[in-house]
Copies of this chain bind each other. A is one copy, B any other.
Amino acid sequence: MKTILLSIEYDGTFFAGWQRQPAQRSVQSELEKTLSGFCHKPVAVFGASRTDAGVHAYDQKAHFLWDFDFPVEHIPNALNGFLPSDIRIRAAEEVPTDFHARFSCTGKKYIYKIRNTAESDVFSRYYYSRIAKTLDVEAMAEAAAYFEGTHDFKVFSGNNGVIMHNTIRTVHSFSVNKLDNQIIELEVTGSAFLYKMVRLMTGALIHIGHGKRMPESIKSVLAGELKRMGNTAVPQGLYLAKVYYDQKELLNDLKSSSLENSI
């Protein structure tokens, strides 16, 4: 029996999210259906991140157990032939038997894409969050830096019915950049994230970007001196960009991105 780790890209638009749910279309259930058909027996797939409905992934990771005599490098093509067009397997590799896509994970990177314009655009409606009122990107970037470090992120977590006993998380880096064409990209890398944490942090940054609070107010919220501001940012703009299992790779990525920012 081998443990196989998949790298998965998906368009979250027409899924109820990653997680298997009765009578709903989910990424996990589509993968399990395809793998089970392939193996002629039920196969369970374990994902690194339970992305919400509408949230996309450039690189979700998931593992499953495999006792087929089939070359691992051919798994992506074999599965892609049966999967719906909004899920693509990018890579497959054998990992140690004690590996778990979620519990072995040492970090994740999310990207949040905003189109800051009053003009709607049919082609980006599922792939960007459109915000009509002009955002102060510098204020957002300044505020985002206050999220970096180890904090209790309890107020930046949604209620999904699970009581979290430990809400302390570490955000390694949180950058906000204005790209061409009214596009603003937020990029956050952390050890782990609470339920809805990225969208709640993004919502607070949008609030600050609209000048309703000062950037330093993030510090006060994290210290418990101020209530959380802003709304949960819409799922359309959110992408799970990378899942890390190797601390060296994570450090390298952080180093190169901070080098980039300092250029």
Contact = CB atoms under 8 A, between A and B. Distances in A.
Interface stretch (A84-92, A179-187, A224-232): A84-92
A123 interface: yes
A88 B121 contact: yes
**How many copies of this chain does one complex carry?**
2
Contact of A121 (B9, B120, B125): B9
A127 interface: yes
Contacts of A88: 120-122
A48 to B, nearest CB: 18
B80 A122 contact: no
Nearest to A12: B122
B87 A56 contact: no
A52 interface: no
Interface in A109-155: 120-123, 125, 127
Given A11-B123, A87-B122, A88-B121, 6 more contacts: A9-B121, A9-B122, A10-B122, A80-B120, A85-B120, A86-B125
Interface of A: 9-11, 56, 80, 85-88, 120-123, 125, 127
11 contacts: A9-B121, A11-B123, A11-B125, A56-B123, A80-B120, A85-B120, A85-B122, A86-B122, A86-B125, A88-B122, A123-B127
